[in-house]
A and B are shown apart, each in its own frame.
Chain A
Amino acid sequence: MITLSGLAQALLFGLANGCIYILLATGLNLIFGVMKLVNFAHGQLLMVGAFVAYEVTTIAGLSPYVSILVSMGTVALIGIVLEEFAFRKVRGTEKLNEIFISLGLIYVFQNVATLLWEKNYSIQIPSPLAGLSLAVGEATIKYDLLLAVGIVIIILIGLVLLTKKTKVGLAMRATSQKSDASMLMGININRVYVFTFAVGAALAGAAGALYGILFPFNPAIGALPTIKAFAIIILGGLGSIPGAVVGGLLYGVAESATGYLTNGTWADAVAFALLIAVLIIRPTGLFGEKGE
Chain B
Amino acid sequence: MDLKAIFTNLFRSRKFQLALVAIAFTAILPLFVRSDYIIGQVLTVMVIFAIYASSWNLLAYSGQGSLGHAAFLGIGGFASALLTVKAGLPAIVGLIIGGFVSAGVGLLIGLACVRLKAWFLAMVTFGFAVIVVTIVSQFDFIFGGTVGFPTPTFAPLVIPFFYATLAIAAISIGAIFFIMQSKLGLAFKAIRENELEAKMTGINTAKYRLFAFVISTFFAGLAGGLYAESIGFIHVSIFDPNYSFLPLIMSVIGGLGTMIGPIIGSVIIVSIDSFGPLTYGFLQPLNPLFRGVSNVGPSLKFVGLGLFLILVVIFLPKGIASLLPKVAAFFREDKSKAKNDGKT
Chain A residues packing against B (C-beta within 8 Å): 38, 40, 86, 89-90, 93, 95-97, 99-101, 103-108, 110-120, 219, 223, 227, 230-231, 234, 265-266, 268-269, 272-273, 275-276, 279-280, 283, 291-292
Q: A112-B303, A272-B127 are in contact. List 11 more A-B contacts (CB 8 A).
A: A97-B313, A97-B317, A103-B245, A103-B309, A108-B306, A111-B306, A116-B292, A117-B292, A230-B123, A269-B134, A279-B120
A234→B302 contact, CB < 8 A: no
The residue that B292 contacts in the complex, of A89, A118, A265, with Cβ under 8 A, is A118
B300→A231 contact, CB < 8 A: no
A114→B120 contact, CB < 8 A: no
B131→A269 contact, CB < 8 A: yes
The residue that A107 contacts in the complex, of B116, B126, B309, with Cβ under 8 A, is B309
- From 61 to 85 in chain B, residues with beta carbon under 8 angstroms from any chain A beta carbon are 65, 67
Chain A-chain B contacts (Cβ-Cβ < 8 Å), number: 130
Which of A86, A268, A279 has the most chain B CB within a 10 Å cutoff?
A279
List 7 A-B pairs, Cβ < 8 Å.
Answer: A100-B248, A107-B303, A231-B123, A234-B123, A276-B113, A276-B127, A283-B116
B127→A275 contact, CB < 8 A: yes
- From 100 to 137 in chain B, residues with beta carbon under 8 angstroms from any chain A beta carbon are 112-113, 115-120, 122-124, 126-128, 130-131, 133-135, 137
With A100-B309, A118-B293, A276-B113 as contacts: A111 and B127 at CB distance below 8 Å: no
Chain B residues packing against A (C-beta within 8 Å): 60, 65, 67, 112-113, 115-120, 122-124, 126-128, 130-131, 133-135, 137-138, 241, 245, 248-249, 252, 290-293, 296, 299-300, 302-303, 305-310, 313-314, 317
A99→B293 contact, CB < 8 A: no
A111→B310 contact, CB < 8 A: no
A residues near B302, Cβ cutoff 8 Å: 107, 110-111
Which of B138, B309, B314 has the most chain A CB within a 10 Å cutoff?
B314
A116→B291 contact, CB < 8 A: yes
B residues near A114, Cβ cutoff 8 Å: 292-293, 299
Bound Cα distance A86, B118 (Å):
21
- Which residue on B lies nearest to A113, using beta carbons? B292
- Which residue on B lies nearest to A275, using beta carbons? B127
B residues near A105, Cβ cutoff 8 Å: 306, 310
B residues near A113, Cβ cutoff 8 Å: 292
A279→B306 contact, CB < 8 A: no
Main secondary structure of the interface of A (DSSP, over half): helix
A279→B116 contact, CB < 8 A: yes
Bound Cα distance A244, B147 (Å):
41
B124→A279 contact, CB < 8 A: yes
Which 6 pairs, one residue from A and one from B, show the smallest C-beta to C-beta distance? A107-B306, A272-B127, A269-B134, A104-B309, A104-B310, A108-B306
A residues near B131, Cβ cutoff 8 Å: 269, 272-273
B252→A100 contact, CB < 8 A: yes
A residues near B128, Cβ cutoff 8 Å: 272, 276
- Which residue on B lies nearest to A291, using beta carbons? B117
Bound Cα distance A265, B137 (Å):
9
The distance from the CB of B323 to the nearest CB of chain A, in whole angstroms, is: 18
- Which residue on A lies nearest to B112, using beta carbons? A280
B residues near A227, Cβ cutoff 8 Å: 123, 126-127
- Which residue on A lies nearest to B296, using beta carbons? A115
- Which residue on B lies nearest to A115, using beta carbons? B290
The residue that B306 contacts in the complex, of A89, A104, A265, with Cβ under 8 A, is A104
The residue that A119 contacts in the complex, of B123, B291, B300, B305, with Cβ under 8 A, is B291
Which of B126, B241, B292, B309 has the most chain A CB within a 10 Å cutoff?
B292
The distance from the CB of B176 to the nearest CB of chain A, in whole angstroms, is: 19
- Which residue on B lies nearest to A285, using beta carbons? B120
Which of A105, A115, A291 has the most chain B CB within a 10 Å cutoff?
A115
Bound Cα distance A108, B291 (Å):
17
A residues near B248, Cβ cutoff 8 Å: 100, 103
B119→A38 contact, CB < 8 A: yes
- Which residue on B lies nearest to A271, using beta carbons? B127
Bound Cα distance A103, B56 (Å):
16
With A97-B317, A265-B134, A265-B138 as contacts: A86 and B299 at CB distance below 8 Å: no
Which of B120, B128, B137, B293 has the most chain A CB within a 10 Å cutoff?
B120
